[in-house]
Chain A
Amino acid sequence: MNMFASCMITALILLTLPIIMTSTKLYKDKLYPYYVKTATSHAFMISMIPAMMFIYSGQEMVISNWHWMTIQTMKLSMSFKLDYFSMIFVPVALFVTWSIMEFSMWYMHSDPYINRFFKYLLMFLITMMILVTANNMFQLFIGWEGVGIMSFLLIGWWYGRTDANTAALQAILYNRIGDVGFIMAMAWFLLHLNAWDLQQIFMSANDNLNLPLFGLLLAATGKSAQFGLHPWLPSAMEGPTPVSALLHSSTMVVAGVFLLIRFHPLMEQNPTIQTLTLCLGAVTTLFTAICALTQNDIKKIVAFSTSSQLGLMIVTIGINQPYLAFLHICTHAFFKAMLFMCSGSIIHSLNDEQDIRKMGGLFKALPFTTTSLIIGSLALTGMPFLTGFYSKDLIIETANTSNTNAWALLITLIATSMTAAYSTRILFFALLGQPRFTPIISINENNPYLINSIKRLLLGSVFAGYVISHSITPTTIPQMTMPHHLKMAALAVTILGFILALELNLTMQGLKFNHSSHYFKFSNLLGYYPTIMHRLAPKTSLFMSQKSASMLLDHIWLESVLPKSIAFFQMKSSTLVSNQKGLIKLYFFSFMITMALSLSILNYHV
């Protein structure tokens, strides 16, 4: 009997302790953020023990705790699946969250509700842990909805701002559309396989699985912001930067990809769904990379970069490489969280300035942030032997050598070069050149919280790729033998993107800004997708419903058809027919004269 289960459960319970403490006076304490951060770091260290045990011995475990209920023939219980995916993801997520919590002790330092902020972050982390360690779909759904709700609460943290409320609502609505797919899959599994446990689903599934897999793909589209349900991710940048770093770069948005990875035994057998996934991911990665090229808000550029990398992960699932996609999830968490933290450092130092057209010359003023931003961007674009290389380059090579859709492969390569282009754009506008911000600012990055947290992620960005990819068990990643031009393809397009972007930026530096061309407007307004979807569809349905309910039923059928038409008809006909003039006295007088005359004549006649 070893410590595998005990350590894992201890780590998970350790995370819930600060939440339980909120009813005591610890919650009102000034040191509560420090307690939360320490709890997270200790949970990370404890969870490294089972992770290393797993790497050494390959031992997986399913912990089935508590029998909740049995609904006719289906048994629901609380069970944790501690296999390859969750064992490696939990330490990575805890490490990144530890750094982000330390960062937000600096970033949200002047916020009066900082204790509540940390409580929300911790609750988000707990629900994410529930999601990745779930062994049945019901528990997964609990974690799924939990991360959605915490995302809503955290995006709308500054709820006095209208845009923040709109963005939070947008996140909930788009996620809900994806949840429909999830529930459809759950219902199909319940009806046909009578199971929500992953083991039973994988054993007994042997007929046409198109419908539930399509439902799962829809759920991943909603949660991971694929094309069609993507506008919520750039809008989610209304939340504070730690929220963007944790939720919308490393942890929550990979939940959709994680779901598809969990169901990879089912997806291996179904080429239709694989093609659909591949095309969806390819379109997403190209579209969001195009949109990222002309944005002016630094957080939005990084958000689109996240969306593009998520599309890349979905492409990887589409070429039937779930382990590579998972590797990319883990490595991507490091450098993307660090990119967000560096942009948070820049924003705070420039007194809440987020527009890159108003930054510049920070190369000498913020040396540490500059260093980490450059290393993060290089890791993102897949510079050889940094972290991103171990996953991203492998993905491109695998796609090059597999029997895949050539169009999807081509646009993935184009999106890779665009990654380099917009990374260069960030570096150029934010760091190089002369300062474009107002000089009445004191720029100071000398806070130990900030420096330590970014330093940890920096070490992770440089070394984690090597460490993780050399420690994991052998998986289905194919042997890499290919001709030279295919091997160098990713590197070549990346270098092409760098050089092109640098030359364009340097050339255009002193020129006057022309009126925007059509391509610029397409890219800047996110392909007109939010404009059309958020305005046209609701306006049409509201217009139709108003016309049919109010005009048709009320005005016409209840008012105009009988009552008003009768009144109108009567009035028209009476004015047509009557020709009297109303001379009453004359009529009466003539009546009297006639009567008198007739009576007198009658008198003399008889």
Chain B
Amino acid sequence: MSMVYINIFLAFILSLMGMLIYRSHLMSSLLCLEGMMLSLFVMMSVTILNNHLTLASMMPIVLLVFAACEAALGLSLLVMVSNTYGTDYVQNLNLLQC
């Protein structure tokens, strides 16, 4: 595998680790989710452009759309939590209630 793919793959792994390990703020997990999405987008675009997979050229756009929806969903959950508790500390989420 060439250096470009390894680089982007590492970026993906880093964001994943960042999402799974976070200390207090829910916002940092959402930001890492965006990072994961970004690295996936770049890797997909580079692969398609290098190997001339023309028919798959719309995949990155579709991925972008779905990522936007999911980001909105995540942000709305964050806003709900922030409405109830004032902050987005993760230790508040122990009640199973908004």
Q: Which residues of A are at the interface with B, using a C-beta cutoff of 8 A?
A: 578, 580-585, 588-589, 591-592
Contact = CB atoms under 8 A, between A and B. Distances in A.
Contacts of A580: 96
A592 B17 contact: yes
Contact of A584 (B16, B17, B93, B95): B93
B21 A582 contact: no
Given A578-B96, A580-B96, A592-B17, 7 more contacts: A582-B96, A585-B90, A588-B20, A588-B22, A589-B20, A589-B21, A592-B20
A584 B20 contact: no
Closest 3 pairs between A and B when the two form their complex, measured CB to CB: A592-B20, A588-B20, A582-B94
B17 A582 contact: no
Contacts, number: 25
B36 interface: no
Contacts of A584: 90, 93
B95 A582 contact: yes
B21 A592 contact: yes
Interface in B63-98: 90, 93-96
A581 B96 CA distance: 7
A430 to B, nearest CB: 80
Contacts of B93: 582, 584
Contacts of A581: 94, 96
A588 B30 CA distance: 13
Contacts of B95: 582
B96 A585 contact: no
Contacts of A592: 16-17, 20-21
Contacts of B96: 578, 580-582
A539 to B, nearest CB: 46
Contacts of A585: 22, 90
Contacts of B17: 592
Interface residues of B, number: 12
24 contacts: A578-B96, A580-B96, A581-B94, A581-B96, A582-B93, A582-B94, A582-B95, A583-B94, A584-B90, A584-B93, A585-B22, A585-B90, A588-B19, A588-B20, A588-B21, A588-B22, A588-B29, A589-B20, A589-B21, A591-B20, A592-B16, A592-B17, A592-B20, A592-B21
Nearest to B91: A585
Contacts of A589: 20-21
Interface in B12-27: 16-17, 19-22
A583 B96 CA distance: 10
A588 B19 CA distance: 8
A600 to B, nearest CB: 13
A592 B15 CA distance: 12
Contacts of A591: 20
Contacts of B94: 581-583
A578 B29 CA distance: 25
A582 B97 CA distance: 10
Most chain B CB atoms below 10 A, which of A583, A584, A589, A591: A584
Contacts of B90: 584-585
Nearest to B94: A582
Nearest to A578: B96
Contacts of A588: 19-22, 29
A331 B80 CA distance: 90
A591 B90 CA distance: 17
Nearest to B92: A582
Nearest to B97: A582
A585 B96 CA distance: 15
A606 to B, nearest CB: 15
B93 to A, nearest CB: 5
A588 B20 CA distance: 5
B62 to A, nearest CB: 26
A580 B95 CA distance: 10
Contacts of A582: 93-96
Contacts of B19: 588
Contacts of B21: 588-589, 592
B56 to A, nearest CB: 26
A578 B17 CA distance: 29
A137 B48 CA distance: 104
Contacts of A578: 96
A589 B19 CA distance: 9
A584 B16 CA distance: 15
A578 to B, nearest CB: 7
Contacts of A583: 94
B79 to A, nearest CB: 17
Nearest to A596: B17
A287 to B, nearest CB: 70
A591 B22 CA distance: 13
B69 to A, nearest CB: 21
A588 B29 CA distance: 10
A579 to B, nearest CB: 10
